[in-house]
Amino acid sequence: MIVVHHLNNSRSQRILWLLEELGLEYEVKRYERDPETMQAPAALKAIHPLGKSPVITDGELTLAESGAIVEYLVDTYGQGRLAPATGTAERLRFNYWLHYAEGSAMTPLLLKLVFNRVESAPMPFFAKPFAKGIAGKVKGNFIEPQIIQHLNYMNSELAATGWFVGDDFSAADVQLSFPLEAAAARGGLDQKWPNLIEFLQRIHARPAYKKALERGGEYNIIG
Residue 71's CATH number: 3.40.30.10
pLDDT tens profile 92-131: 999 999 999 999 999 999 888 877 777 676 667 656 676 6
Residues 174 and 113 grouped into a single domain? yes
Report the domain count for the chain. Answer: 2
Asked whether residue 223 is domain-assigned, the answer is no
> What pLDDT is stored for residue 223 in this prediction?
43
Residue range of the domain that includes 78: 2-83+212-216
More confident residue, 145 or 137: 145
Residues 99 and 166 grouped into a single domain? yes
Residues 51 and 131 grouped into a single domain? no
Tell me the Cα Rg of the chain. Answer: 18
pLDDT at 154 over 80: yes
Asked whether residue 222 is domain-assigned, the answer is no
Mean pLDDT of 122-148: 76
Characterize 60-72 residue by residue with b for buried, 16 or more Cβ atoms within 10 angstroms of its Cβ, and e for exposed: eeeebbbbebbbb
Mean pLDDT of 76-92: 97
First and final CA of the chain: distance in angstroms?
34
Q: In angstroms, rounded to a whole number, what is the distance separating the alpha carbons of residues 184 and 189?
A: 5
Asked whether residue 125 is domain-assigned, the answer is yes
Residues 73 and 123 grouped into a single domain? no
Mean pLDDT of 130-155: 85
Q: In angstroms, rounded to a whole number, what is the distance separating the alpha carbons of residues 36 and 111?
A: 20
Q: In angstroms, rounded to a whole number, what is the distance separating the alpha carbons of residues 123 and 203?
A: 41
Q: How far is CA 220 from the centre of its chain?
A: 12
> What pLDDT is stored for residue 127 in this prediction?
60
Q: In what order do the strands lie in the sheet with 2-7?
A: 26-31, 2-7, 55-58, 61-64
Residues 33 and 139 grouped into a single domain? no
Asked whether residue 116 is domain-assigned, the answer is yes
pLDDT tens profile 30-43: 998 888 887 899 99
Residues 9 and 111 grouped into a single domain? no
Residues 65 and 36 grouped into a single domain? yes
> What pLDDT is stored for residue 26 in this prediction?
98
Question: Which pTM does this prediction carry?
Answer: 0.92
